[in-house]
A and B are shown apart, each in its own frame.
Chain A
Amino acid sequence: EPEVTQTPSHQVTQMGQEVILRCVPISNHLYFYWYRQILGQKVEFLVSFYNNEISEKSEIFDDQFSVERPDGSNFTLKIRSTKLEDSAMYFCASSERGGASYNEQFFGPGTRLTVL
């Protein structure tokens, strides 16, 4: 069964450093998403991406964050200068359809980001 994959599974970084989290969405999906979950809290939407551009973003997704689809398979989230409060699980998700229809979103296993 096709699945979303993410690398690395765990990333440890120093405050102020840049990190890139990588995702390979399900191959026939067109919509890609990043969510995060701080320990003990709810899953929060960060950004959605369609047709090589951001289609929606949350207030969390400020100028420190960027997304890119550098090739036909990968989808990345970059955090330019990490802060302690960026420590969380970051989940990539993908769906066949977007918000104008019934968009079932399938999640990858996540990357645990620890900022020291």
Chain B
Amino acid sequence: QKEVEQNSGPLSVPEGAIASLNCTYSDRGSQSFFWYRQYSGKSPELIMSIYSNGDKEDGRFTAQLNKASQYVSLLIRDSQPSDSATYLCAVNRLGDDKIIFGKGTRLHILP
């Protein structure tokens, strides 16, 4: 069973601090890695994608990938109350169309 694991949280972070979200995956054939943000009752919104080992930065967001450790993370700098949401880690295997999602980590930014 190919799984994507995340700590369900909630993860509480003070406003202005760095939020660190982590994810592990079991399928070594995974090639694409995504972070989606999902507000309560809304649909997943793609915020970051990463395909090779290392860091990828986009504004306040940094995705980190370590394929040897099968580990993906998302850092959110200068956290804002509007960042409070569930963050879904998702992976895609080479040749598969489907994305496999983790259960998500609830992030709460404390004003």
Contacts and interface: CB of A to CB of B under 8 A. Distances in A.
Answer yes or no: are A and B bound together in one complex: yes
Interface stretch (A13-21, A39-47, A68-76, A79-87): A39-47
A54 to B, nearest CB: 10
Interface residues on B, range: 20 to 34
B46 interface: yes
B103 interface: yes
B97 A48 contact: yes
B106 to A, nearest CB: 12
A106 B37 CA distance: 12
Interface of B: 31-32, 34, 36, 42-46, 49, 51, 88, 90, 92-104
Interface of A: 31, 33, 41-45, 48, 50, 55-56, 58, 89, 91, 98-100, 102-110
